[in-house]
Structure 1
Amino acid sequence: MSDLSQSVLAFDDLLANTLNNYLSLSAKIGGHVKTHSDMVSVAVRYQRDFLVTASKSIKPDDSTLINLLKPTSVQISQIQDFREKNRTNEHFVHLSAISESIPALGWVTVSPTPGPYVKEMVDASQFYTNKVLVSYKEKDKTHTEWAKAWLSFLTGLQAYIKQYHTTGLTWNPRGVKATAVQSNGSSAGGPLLPPPPPPPAGFFDESSKDDDRSALFAQLNVGTDVTRGLRKVSAEQQTHKNPTLRTTSVVPDKPTIAAKPANLGAQRQQARMPPKFELEGKKWMIENQIGQKNLIIENAEMNQSINVYKCEDCVLQVKGKVNSITVDLSKKFSIVFDNIVSVVEFINSQKIQAQAMGVVPTVTVDKVDNFELYLGKDSLKCEIISSKSSGINISVPNSSGDYVEHPIPEQLKTVWTGKGFKTDAVESA
């Protein structure tokens, strides 16, 4: 271990103090959470190997850099794919918390502010980690400790970057070529994590270059000017703040804003999957529907939940009392529902309309643009919880039965009271 730089040793300490706790708790929960954590462990090992290489070598050219980063990129894609393929799993929220924030490992391509980039990934996953903390608070402490352990790793990673790579990944100006380090084996230590499995068959084949996973690094492969003048991108160019970018790995060009270097967590461009409308166990799965204005669930039952995913320009009517409804990554989507046992959630969507005909305890709105909610007389006691959303309007009936629209404030004002901070909504004129 004596030939390792101080920055690599500090990274090993980070893994020992925080990541191993997350891996241990994941193993205790078991099932898909354990499988997912094993994949995370491999991705972090790849990152450690990359950091060892960087500490011993001069900064390489773009094509070499792409090859060095490719194992991490592929592993991140597999982690996110695992979540998408297991949307009906009982621990889907756990998988989502990891998938939304695993792009934090892409900090090595961000300059000059990699630390704040990791913080953005923490914010992107907070909706799901909060759900774990709330759902299991009184049920199973293992799950709440699991969520805290993962957040601890991410915050520790941010602190590590601030100390050793403040303005971007640090290379060794007196080092050797990166290919020489790689050929000798980049990592001699790292017993904290299990060794990564061999790459999939054909990983280094020429034919695999056209694989859609290579789109993750397309921005790096545009010439020597790619690493010049990089700076933090604006909010509208960040995929976790702008849902419309999640269907493509390409950020639109702007003449005055430099594009972010290869975002390891960018969503891969995929062909739309076939539409689905079916009951799987106790979950209604409604996915990839386009232009369907007459979707109806008849005689829904109280122990059933409804998951709407990637639907566009559709209208869904739910007849009966259901446990919960979740609408995710949808656009121009309208839904009418009767009675809800727990919650109706809207996530990462645009132009949503919802109408409650009966009782609904809670409606949550997270990262949604343009949201209209119509409450009936039986749903006026509903709690609406919103975050990172805009254009929220709630209509309620007046004494004559006509709906009156009420916009929800989007601005907050915070002042120091002498004992703490007080935050109030700022009403629009």
Structure 2
Amino acid sequence: VVIVADMQNLVSRLEKAVEKLESLAIGSGGTSGSGDTAKFVVAFDALVDGPVAEFAKYSNEVGGDVEMVLTGIQLQRQIIVTASQCQQPAEKDLVALLAPLSNQILAVQNFREKNRGSKLFNHLSAVSESIPALGWVAAAPKPGPFVKEMMGAAMFYTNRVLKEYKDVNKNHVDWVRASLNLWMELQAYIKEHHTTGLSWSKTGPKAGSNSSAPSAPQAPKVGPGPPPPPPPGCPPPPPPQSAPAEYDDTVSRSKLFAELNQGAIITKGLKHVSDDQKTHKNPQVKKLTGPKPFASPKPTIHSPAAKPVAKKEPPVLELEGKKWRVENQENQVVYIYKCVNSTLQVKEKINSITVDNCTKLGLVFEDAVGIVEVINSRDVKLQVLGKVPTISINKTDGCHVYLSKGSLTCEIVSAKSSEMNILVPGKDGDFSEFPVPEQFKTVYNGQKLVTTVTEIAG
């Protein structure tokens, strides 16, 4: 009876996933000027039918809830279809167009935070770390590498899933394969159709314009039949949910996505509405003029015992002469590339950090949720002030890692690297230096290979 009930539950979840995937085909069909469906819309639908469907299948088999991820994919498709019909909009209209997707990414991340006691927490964490990859539509000029970074941040948790279920349940191993394959196929799709950024139509109205357009036709199903006629205009995007009232059109695309990918901080500016201000309880409030959008909230002290609200410092990312100020960033991923003779300090908690192709770089950071990786670099010094679970050193010559007392349990993984030293703090505050082995001896004991560290006599 239990087996039958489990099978029925699995079939029910699979049916829901199939219905969600089918809904991705409903909506604007994405037509070119000749009336044909744009090639990159057709290619995205093929991505949905293949890797996305496979990911949904295994997610349901391991007992996960894939609904929110599929909703994010659906919002992604709507943006791609809009790009196939419209010219690139102004930055302020682009913010509004991307707002639903940005909010959905945040919802997936919040779902993980609310389910820390789940037995599938590593699965949820892998999805939470990789889901920002859907924001590639705002990442120019390198959307493909951006998706790769997000996938890399998730691999810390997918490796945990493999370690836990490798010899226990093959479905979880297949889930990891399908999850990583989804992001790899998305990279291949971007490389072919959106190499330097989301491809916008050269004709048609600008996205977000006030031109009227009829309801978008349904996307054609697979099989013979004429394609739908092209729409005469592009419907305006939904009103911005988290965008500033005014936005400078000269803001770069990378800065735009940095704002959209703030994580939980995006909700900090919302003002609490008391019962006497709610319109459904006080109709007369509708006649009043509301506060200006995004005014700084002022805490209300109801009694002498009330605690003051901690002031939240605004995030900063700007260049002052030769000095970069990176302050008060939360839930971000830092990618450092080709920096020479530079020192970088990352304040607040960060998702992950990648140091790539750097020379004589000094990096100081506080807490990292995921992995800190150094690759293809020379003479790099890292200092941890808080906690970090894993540090990876690959193809690097000369790397000094200064650990804090809170990061002594950190796992350090190295490959194809030399001159690596780990410095551990002592009771008096001085650091003790320990070299990481570079030379090994391997022998065959008659049954298997046995590898041990070889110390070179000085």
Q: TM-score range by the shorter chain?
A: 0.5 to 0.7
Relative distance call for 1:187 and 1:392 in structure 2 (3 A) is farther
Partner Cα separation in structure 1 for residue 37 and residue 154 of structure 2: 32
Tell me what 1:267 maps to: 331
**Distance across 2 between alignment mates of 1:256 and 1:391:** 33
Q: Which residues of 2 match residues 258-337 of structure 1 at below 5 A?
A: 267=331
Please give the secondary structure, in 2, of the residue aligned with 1:225: coil
Deviation at 1:85, TM superposition (A): 0.9
CA distance in 2, matches of 1:29, 1:136: 11
Q: Which amino acid aligns with 2:52?
A: L
Amino acid at match of 1:165: H
1:408–1:148 CA distance, 2 compared to 1 (3 A): same
- 1:100 counterpart SS class: helix
Distance 2:60 2:220 in 1: 20
Task: Evaluate the alpha carbon distance shift between residue 14 and residue 84 of structure 1 in structure 2; reply closer, same or farther with a 3 A threshold.
Answer: same
- Aligned partner (choices 434, 438, 447) of residue 406 of structure 1: 434
Root-mean-square deviation (CA, aligned residues, Å) is 5.0
Equivalent pairs, count: 285
Q: Work out whether 1:10 is the aligned partner of 2:55.
A: no
* Aligned residue number for residue 250 of structure 1: 315
Whole-angstrom distance in 1 between the partners of 2:262 and 2:207: 31
Quote the offset at 1:27 in angstroms: 1.0
Taking the aligned partners of 1:191 and 1:15, their CA distance within structure 2 comes to 14
Q: Cα gap change, 1:103/1:177 in structure 2, threshold over 3 Å: closer, same or farther?
A: same
The DSSP-based 3-state class of the residue aligned with 2:119 is coil
**TM-fit CA distance, 1:222:** 3.3
Cα gap change, 1:226 to 1:99, in 2 (>3 Å): same
1:176 and 2:205 equivalent?
Answer: yes
1:385, distance to aligned residue in structure 2 (A): 3.8
2-structure distance, mates of 1:387, 1:190:
51
State how far apart, in whole Å, the 2-side matches of 1:372 and 1:129 are.
27
Q: Are residue 225 (structure 1) and residue 250 (structure 2) matched?
A: yes
The answer on 1:386 being equivalent to 2:413 is yes
Q: Which runs of 5+ in 1 are unaligned?
A: 193-203, 241-246, 260-264, 269-309, 311-329, 334-344, 355-362, 377-381, 397-402, 413-423
**Which amino acid in the other structure matches residue 318 of structure 2?**
D
- TM-score where L is the length of structure 2: 0.51
Measured after TM superposition, the shift of residue 20 of structure 1 is: 0.7
**Residue 317 of structure 2 aligns to a residue in which SS?**
coil
| Deviation at residue 191 of structure 1 after TM alignment | 8.1
Letter aligned with residue 351 of structure 1: L
CA deviation after TM superposition for structure 1 residue 64, in Å: 1.6
> CA-to-partner distance for each residue in 1:221-262, whole Å, 9 max, x for gaps?
63110147x69999xxx999xxxxxx98835211479x9xxx
Q: 1:391 to 1:266 in 2, by over 3 A?
A: farther
Distance 1:255 1:27, change over 3 A: same
1:5-404 alignment runs, 5 A limit: 5-30=38-63, 33-34=64-65, 37-179=66-208, 184-185=214-215, 188-189=218-219, 214=242, 222-227=247-252, 250-255=315-320, 267=331, 350-352=384-386, 365=391, 370-372=402-404, 384-386=411-413, 392-394=422-424
Cα pair 1:48 1:187 within 8 Å, conserved: no
Is the CA contact (8 Å cut-off) linking 1:119 and 1:158 kept in structure 2? Answer: yes
Q: 1:252 to 1:18 in 2, by over 3 A?
A: same
The verdict on how the C-alpha distance between 1:404 and 1:171 changes in structure 2, with shifts beyond 3 A counting, is closer
Q: Shift of residue 189 of structure 1? A: 2.9
How much has 1:149 moved relative to structure 2? 0.5
Structure with the greater alpha carbon radius of gyration: 2
Moved over 6 A (4+): 231-234, 345-349, 366-369
CA 1:352/1:386 → structure 2, altered by over 3 Å: closer, same or farther? farther
TM, length-normalised to structure 1: 0.54
Return the offset for 1:369.
7.2
